[in-house]
Chains A and B, each alone.
Chain A
Amino acid sequence: MSRSSEETNRRLLRARDAMDRRYAEPLDVATLARIAYVSEAHFIRSFRATFGETPNRYLQRRRVERAMFLLRSTDRSVTGICMDVGFSSLGTFSRVFRDIVGEPPSAYRRRGPLPPVPTCFAMAWARPSSFGEAPGE
């Protein structure tokens, strides 16, 4: 690893932090690539090489993690939560949620309230894993 790759990592981390912070906004690759000071094509490739998944997948997991939290900590409607976490369509939200979590939002909600943990750790550890995660499918 060279110093320049550390610089690149650090800039990509800044873009990842932006996804963690601004997940509710309609973030696109152009915006994120600007934060990381790289071209769009290079951004997707280098993000994947650095963090092991595409930026889109990371953002989806972040949004689903927030939705998981809200479903079990508030009584807001599923549609409301879908919009709160940055999805623009309920159909996409339901499909992505189910793909990642393995059950629909309403079923996940019935599991009951969550214990209090510092946000950053909840974010890092409650975030569903990337691939093949849906149990029993």
Chain B
Amino acid sequence: MLNALTITQIYVPDQDQALDFYVGKLGFQVTNDMAFGPMRWLTIALPGQPDREVLLEKPGPPSMSEETAAQVRDLISKGAAGGHLFFQCDDAHQTHAELKERGVEITEDPVDQPYGTDFGLRDPFGNHIRIAAPRVA
């Protein structure tokens, strides 16, 4: 039966801008960047976890009509498209400070939770990201 979750997908309206953010600011590496018919198959992964990839898919034809793609982009820009990414780090305050320094749009500063300390941000398009440092027992 199933033994691993390998790729998850999020929608990004602009794949180059997505790379600037996910690779340039969050520290991802590109694992695949190739033409798959009219689609640019673009996956990224964290350096320490190369087999857990995120597919950065651009909504548009022929996968969906331009009208539908516009609806998808509309939802992304309202922060309602789903595709939340949850990350772990060692030190939430330090990571928060580093990302803020890089000009990332922070939506919530670090908060202490029963499970650890976490904070929130958005990618340039409106997708939501959460980064947590788990509580050390």
Q: Is the CB of A51 within 8 A of B108?
A: no
- List residues 104-131 of chain A with CB under 8 A from any CB of chain B: 116, 118-120
Contact check, A13 vs B74: say whether CB atoms are below 8 A apart. no
* B40 contacts the other chain (CB 8 A): no
Verify if B118 is at the interface (C-beta below 8 Å from A): yes
Interface residues of A in 1-42 (CB under 8 A from B): 1-2, 5-7, 9-10, 12-14, 16-17, 20-21
A88 at the interface (CB under 8 A from B): no
Is A1 touching B71 in the complex (CB atoms < 8 A)?
A: yes
A20 CA to B13 CA in the complex, in Å? 25
B67-93 contact mask (Cβ, 8 Å, vs A): 1 or 0:
000110110111100001010000000
Q: Contact: A116 with B113, CB < 8 Å?
A: yes
Per the CB 8 Å criterion, the residue count for chain B at the interface is 27
**Does B113 contact A1, Cβ atoms closer than 8 Å?**
no
Cβ B132 vs Cβ A118 within 8 A = yes
Query: Which residues of chain A are near B111, meaning CB under 8 Å?
Result: 119
Residue among B105, B109, B120 facing the most chain A CB atoms (10 A cut-off) = B120
A20 and B108 contact, Cβ closer than 8 Å, known pairs A1-B73, A118-B86, A119-B120: yes
What chain A residues lie within 8 Å of B125 (beta carbons)? 10
**CB < 8 Å neighbour of A1 from B74, B79, B105, B120:** B74
Interface residue B65 (Cβ < 8 Å from any Cβ of A): no
Interface membership of B58, Cβ < 8 A: no
Cβ A6 vs Cβ B13 within 8 A:
yes
B108 touches A14 (CB 8 A): no
**CA gap between A6 and B124 in the complex, in Å:** 12
Contact of B126 among A10, A118, A119 (CB under 8 A): A10
B residues engaging A (CB < 8 A)? Answer: 13, 70-71, 73-74, 76-79, 84, 86, 105, 107-109, 111, 113-115, 118, 120, 122, 125-126, 128, 130, 132
